[in-house]
Structure 1
């Protein structure tokens, strides 16, 4: 078994090999010679800041001694938070998650460290060290898994927020794991968590879940709004990410969207009316006025959408005039293409009108937030529906081009349903694909299959 030299032995060896005195080395690393002497002789415990200076002076990578530091100065001694805390922060800066994980086990054997580790995780999150923060949240959550605590719920909420990404299969697992903890959060975190859950499930087209959590958000928001304005109390010491009334109105908007998506257009219209009339809102600040304007615009647009979905195609010209033409135009154009496919309408002139925006934002990138995932999923559905529109119009070359675009993007986010729909649509029109298009589609499908490691491939389906 190989014996690893102690840190102080390595220092002595370096000084001897390079013919440097202790005093000279202390001067090089700007450290008091008495302090350095005590470290080398073993009479003084070494701090991580001293270790970093010594390591830099020896021209070694900054984390060179970190594994040995854990063994010599943390594991084999009584836990000392004043020493451990700076070391964990330094590991976070250097992304040495393995070292953080190694330190966690002995610390969490003592419950007194749970709180300080949770507070450190919160601070690391604010500082942008997301991987390190997630690791701390995981360990704190594991240590409190048998407790019905708010801190456990907050850890799970933070992990949920950090883990939402492009992979929709992973997003589904993440959301399902977080669901049981929502009710344990305080009012502020719970409102935002319900909003985030509804958005994730919206991106997954799980409309029963969207409706369920939007309803919970609506009820909680109404209770808190009444308490704030009738008892004049603050909702909590925390600050909501949006004005309180927004959660109530947004819940109505999401319920309307869920109802329209499954064909329940009458209930959807009732929910649209719920956020159309916001005369009950008492606040008059600029932020409130901004959101009131947003909901007024959304209500107008979604009323048109509701009419279109029940077959009132006379609403299409008015709806198109209200399309913003902004960055996230795909959600609005998706409705146009859906109506065209459903009721066999020619929308070439509309697509031509927004051609520049479509091209400009085709390759847009998005952040890993719940709301951004909705936008990304809508973008993919747009390309899929546009492919279907062109294939039905017998414009096969462009139709297959749009379909391959949809397939590739669906593969990036591992959206099994959209991948299956793309495969099914191609199968439906494959006889019209020339050999080159056949090869391009199968190549794209193979790439998606390999990326997502689906042993038996995807099932074919139609939509």
Structure 2
């Protein structure tokens, strides 16, 4: 194709296909939806009217060609007299990314990066792909921004790092932890509305990989920032000056409450139950929070339910088994809390050696659904649930079930690439290795 390029042009190819199909401009206008006058100006005016990428796609469809037809010749529409046409180039690169024309992207990028100022164009392409849900396609453009922007304090550079962190998917613990390490140095350079979301995601990812000290750090930062932003918002609304309202992914009360919740959970997972209770009180009743609209009120109610659930959790983990019937009733009435609740019950039973067979039977259907979870948080819970259940079964003397749970946990930890969980499960299996010969023969 490259060898022919010197003998072809976008317009000569279009004119060739018009003749080949015997179309008039009027007929072509009807087929493509492009104004007839615009078609004439594209083909006959001197200098010719520029073609948009959407018009080229419409022409391809009219001529029965595949998406991406003549894209390798479209560069001439994007560069003129040494200048870049941003309105044509950005949609072109977006379409190339959408349909996989990597050859065209590479050709354009090599020309663009001759001028460092054009990095902002690549960032614009990445942002538009990201905002339309095409995160995978956006990743190479964000990486180009990071690799070619010299100013590490530039907004595009910092946001590109954040966007790459946001594109994290799957359950690979090692990849998630590496992503935290890469993004962490840039978190405080983000604008406040992005910082709030970034800190919440950082805390959640560290929860998944069980880095409790890191969860605490980000939770503390989230609480401090959410409090400062809240106070600024109150002052702004009381002043007579008109200011741009703060734009965040979630209601402001979410960040404030999550700062307390994440801190409490991190303390809980380290066995610091009394300390954790103090933080539960921080989100148990957020009705005092001003600026609450209908969405905010719903979030406050969620925190109220979570606080009640987590107080049950802490009591049970501290050995207060008497609250178990009330906790089970709570879970029945709040099904969304069942995954976390059953983990707590299982952890407590394995720790204090009391029977929960009747509870496992009652929630057997829900437990069977655990293996279907796709989100990292619940998969992490499922992994810990299986580990605690293995200990529980060993203590009940049901060795075959215990070994089955242990092997299942090992498999899940391996699939998650979670070295800490893998080590813990291997140690459990090794501790009970003397049972293996009689049960696996």
Report the 3-state secondary structure (helix = DSSP H, G, I; strand = E; otherwise coil) of the residue aligned with 1:263.
coil
Cα distance change of structure 1 residues 264 and 62 upon mapping to structure 2, 3 Å threshold: same
5+ unaligned residues in a row in structure 1: which ranges? 367-371, 439-463
Shift of 1:162: 0.9
Cα distance change of structure 1 residues 291 and 152 upon mapping to structure 2, 3 Å threshold: same
Shift of 1:282: 2.8
Shift of 1:25: 5.4
Partner of 2:387: 384
Partner of 2:290: 282
CA distance in 2, matches of 1:77, 1:100: 20
Shift of 1:191: 0.9
Equivalent position to 1:261, from 269, 284, 290: 269
Equivalent residues in 2 for 1:79-94, closer than 5 Å: 79-94=84-99
Equivalent residues in 2 for 1:108-123, closer than 5 Å: 108-123=113-128
Partner of 1:442: none
Query: Is the Cα contact below 8 Å between 1:390 and 1:398 reproduced in 2?
Result: yes
Cα distance change of structure 1 residues 330 and 60 upon mapping to structure 2, 3 Å threshold: same
CA distance in 2, matches of 1:6, 1:111: 28
Cα distance change of structure 1 residues 74 and 429 upon mapping to structure 2, 3 Å threshold: same
Query: Is the Cα contact below 8 Å between 1:341 and 1:389 reproduced in 2?
Result: yes
Q: Does residue 395 in structure 1 map to residue 393 in structure 2? A: no
Partner of 1:342: 351
Query: Is the Cα contact below 8 Å between 1:308 and 1:339 reproduced in 2?
Result: yes
Quick check: 399-408 or 53-62, which moved more?
Answer: 53-62
Deviation digits for residues 281-317 of structure 1, max 9, x if unmatched?
A: 2345332332222222222221222222233333333
Shift of 1:101: 4.1
Q: TM-score, normalised by structure 1?
A: 0.80
CA distance in 2, matches of 1:50, 1:60: 13
Shift of 1:206: 0.2
Equivalent position to 1:179, from 154, 175, 184: 184
Q: TM-score, normalised by structure 2?
A: 0.83
Equivalent position to 1:24, from 19, 22, 25: 22
Question: How many residues matched?
Answer: 428
Shift of 1:374: 1.5
CA distance in 2, matches of 1:73, 1:115: 19
5+ unaligned residues in a row in structure 2: which ranges? none
Deviation digits for residues 236-283 of structure 1, max 9, x if unmatched?
A: 544223332332222111111111111222221221222234354234
Cα distance change of structure 1 residues 85 and 13 upon mapping to structure 2, 3 Å threshold: closer
Q: Does residue 8 in structure 1 map to residue 8 in structure 2? A: yes
Partner of 1:428: 431
CA distance in 2, matches of 1:105, 1:2: 16
Equivalent residues in 2 for 1:366-377, closer than 5 Å: 366=374, 372-377=375-380
Shift of 1:80: 2.6
Partner of 1:106: 111
Shift of 1:182: 1.1
Query: Is the Cα contact below 8 Å between 1:224 and 1:235 reproduced in 2?
Result: no
Partner of 1:318: 326
CA RMSD of aligned residues (A): 3.5
Partner of 2:420: 417
CA distance in 2, matches of 1:246, 1:288: 8
Shift of 1:122: 2.3
Partner of 1:357: 366
Equivalent position to 1:273, from 268, 281, 305: 281
Cα distance change of structure 1 residues 35 and 175 upon mapping to structure 2, 3 Å threshold: same
Query: Is the Cα contact below 8 Å between 2:313 and 2:341 reproduced in 1?
Result: no
Shift of 1:216: 0.4
Shift of 1:88: 1.4
Report the 3-state secondary structure (helix = DSSP H, G, I; strand = E; otherwise coil) of the residue aligned with 1:163.
coil
